[in-house]
């Protein structure tokens, strides 16, 4: 596997401001936030794109919305609303090839 910044953050080899961590998921603050709250929720296991998920990935996949809800409540954006999005491949806007979900809120989104 080529070098992956998110794998390095998961392994504590590179810094990241952690917002949540459990056995299968890690959430960090985005270093280039586009909204007042912009977190990245990712599996600890390296999965390049959503197209690469396997049946065993259902554990972390089903946990993502629950973690997003928890973080939205903790960050005070649950009631006003938030966006949870995943980009897939270059044409879909994916820049880092380790699946991650953007949790964004804190202002009106269109």
43 to 76, 108, 109: CA distances (angstroms): 24, 28, 26
Whole-angstrom CA distances from 73 to 44, 54, 84 are 23, 30, 14
Catalytic site residue 102? Answer: no
Enumerate the H helices of the chain as residue ranges: 5-10, 58-74
Catalytic residue among 38, 98, 100, 102: 100
Rg (CA), the chain: 13
Active site residues: 100
């Amino acid at each position: 596997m080529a070098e992956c910044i998110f794998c390095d953050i998961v392994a504590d080899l590179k810094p990241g401001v952690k917002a949540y961590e459990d056995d299968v998921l890690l959430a960090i603050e985005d270093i280039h936030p586009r909204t007042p709250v912009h977190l990245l929720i990712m599996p600890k296991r390296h999965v390049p794109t959503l197209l690469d998920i396997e049946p065993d990935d259902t554990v972390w996949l089903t946990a993502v919305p629950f973690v997003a809800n928890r973080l939205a409540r903790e960050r005070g954006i649950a009631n006003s609303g938030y966006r949870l999005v995943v980009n897939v491949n270059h044409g879909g806007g994916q820049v880092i090839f380790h699946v991650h979900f953007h949790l964004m809120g804190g202002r009106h989104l269109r």
